Amino acid sequence: MTKHNIKPIERTKSRIRDKVKGTALKPRLSIFRSNQHIYAQIIDDSLGKTIVSSSTLDKEVKSTIESSSTCDASVAVGKDIAKKSLAHKIDTVVFDRGGRLYHGRIKALANAAREEGLNF
């Protein structure tokens, strides 16, 4: 494929992914945002395994939010992913914003995860 056939968000994502790699000691916190939901995963790239995941579709998160496409939903997902990762003894991660700007729902999720004790 040529550069012109790839969407701009995919080009940005691949450029970020070349620089941001997760290891066993410092896994990658990957964020995916759609128009309706937000998803977060903690990934060990050396093994290619997802360690912890959370989204607005999880039962624990879904019961606490009114709408899944707001900053409040992102805050709930950020707190949930931080609690799950700390339970797995993961306190430091590398942040992967998924090609999106660090603004709005992405920023809300990151700040909520930091407030719960996740370092990045």
**CA distances in angstroms from 1 to 7, 98, 99, 120, listed in the order given:** 11, 21, 19, 34
Give the separation between CA 54 and CA 37, rounded to whole angstroms: 11
pLDDT bin (cut points 50, 70, 90) of residue 74 is very high
pLDDT at 111: 98
Summary mean pLDDT of the chain: 93
CATH code for the domain of 49: 3.30.420.100
Give the separation between CA 59 and CA 45, rounded to whole angstroms: 27
Q: What is the pLDDT of residues 3-50, one digit of tens each?
A: 667 788 888 888 888 888 888 899 999 999 999 999 999 999 999 999
What is the number of domains present in the chain?
1
Query: Does 120 reside within a domain?
Result: no
- 21 versus 95: which is more confidently predicted? 95
Instruction: For residue 119, give the DSSP letter.
Output: B
Query: Does 55 reside within a domain?
Result: yes
Domain that holds residue 79: 3-115
Q: Helices 105-115 and 71-87 meet at what angle, rounded to 10?
A: 40
**pLDDT surpassing 90 at residue 60:** yes
Query: Does 89 reside within a domain?
Result: yes
pLDDT at 11: 85
Query: Does 73 reside within a domain?
Result: yes
pLDDT at 52: 97
Query: Does 95 reside within a domain?
Result: yes
Which residues 6+ apart lie within 8 Å of 65 measured at CB? 56, 72, 73, 76
Torsion-angle region of 29 (φ positive above 0: left; ψ -120 to 50: alpha; else: beta): beta
